Amino acid sequence: MTDHYGTLGITPEATPQEIEAAYRRIALQRGWEDGFWRELRDAYDVLSNPQERARYDSERDGAAELIKKRKSRNPVDRLFPNLPHGWRVALDWIVTIVGAVAIVLAIKTWVVNPYRIPSSSMEPTLHCAHPDLGCEASISDRVLACRICYTLHSPHRGDIAVFRTPPLAKTKCGAGGTFVKRIIGLPGETVQDKPGGWIYINGRKLNEPYIRPDRRMEDSNFGTWTVPKGQYFMMGDNRGSSCDSRVWGAVPRKNMIGEVFATYWPPSRISFH
């Protein structure tokens, strides 16, 4: 629809006198331009006639409202087009907050979830806080675990993983629930912990650059274990202070929650694993 008010350079509230004055002024300024004279004359003929102007304003307002509705992508506007502005703003905030909470919960449930390191079993790879025995830091590390990763691929040896402990862990370690340790043995393998703290997998020494020599020498829980099919043998990097699969057995695949891929707190400890 042609904007007659724009052609004359006036507002929709202009009086008949203002319409007349605008027409004469613009006719003197731009009447000589090719094609503009007809546009100017059409605008004047419509707006100077009260009946024509009323009909034009009605059509113009209807078109503007239609354009507004078409441009709106807000679901609240689409569902409640006649809702008062105040209610619409309140409902929009409610929808936004509920949506944000739902997204956060979905991410925590299926994608990424944070965890705090409560004990020294993974020192010095992951720190726990003083005054707990064996902890090296004043603030416990906070880590992020990829919950979706183990639905996309099988756990790998060397992964730092979050998992639900078998029932025996609570009896043997005095604590159960969710642990963070490293995957050492895969399903069907034979794991040996020999004097000196060296780990052997199916008779071959495992290269473990993440174990500090002094921590390795503290290891005294020697033995040989066969990992059942569909289960994983978990051990802490702080071998002498880790209550792990050597004590309470292997972890079923269904108990594996996710792979730890980053430390995000404290800032000085930010890193990827």
The residues, ordered by sequence, that sit 6+ positions from 211 with a Cβ below 8 Å of its Cβ are 197, 237, 239
Note if 181 is an active site residue.
Answer: yes
Task: Evaluate whether 258 touches 150 at the Cβ level (below 8 Å).
Answer: yes
The dotted CATH code for 113-272 is 2.10.109.10
- Please give the pLDDT value at position 56: 86
Where do the structural domains in the chain lie, given as residue ranges? 4-71, 78-110, 113-272
Per-residue pLDDT for the chain (273 aa), expressed as one digit of tens each? 688 888 888 998 889 999 899 888 888 888 677 678 888 888 889 889 988 888 888 888 776 565 555 555 666 666 776 778 778 788 888 888 988 888 888 787 778 999 999 999 999 999 999 888 889 999 999 999 999 999 999 999 999 999 999 999 999 888 888 999 999 999 999 999 999 889 999 999 999 999 988 888 888 889 999 999 999 999 999 998 999 999 999 999 999 999 999 999 999 999 998
The dotted CATH code for 4-71 is 1.10.287.110
- Please give the pLDDT value at position 74: 66
Distance CA 120, CA 240 (A): 10
- Which amino acid is present at 177? G
Choose the catalytic residue: 119, 120, 181, 241: 181
Distance CA 30, CA 88 (A): 45
Three-class DSSP labels, 61-124: HHHHHHHHHHHCCCHHHHHCCCCCHHHHHHHHHHHHHHHHHHHHHHHHHHCEEEEECCCHHHCC
- Please give the pLDDT value at position 4: 85
- Please give the pLDDT value at position 54: 87
The 10 Å Cβ neighbour count of residue 214 is 10
- Please give the pLDDT value at position 76: 64
Note if 68 is an active site residue.
Answer: no
237: closest CA among 266, 204, 273, 268? Answer: 273
The length of the chain is 273
170: closest CA among 162, 179, 161? Answer: 179
- Please give the pLDDT value at position 63: 63
114 preceded by a cis bond (ω within 30 of 0): no
Choose the catalytic residue: 121, 140, 241, 242: 121
- Please give the pLDDT value at position 65: 60
Using CB atoms within 10 Å of the CB of residue 112, give its burial: 0 to 12 exposed, 13 to 18 middle, 19+ buried.
middle
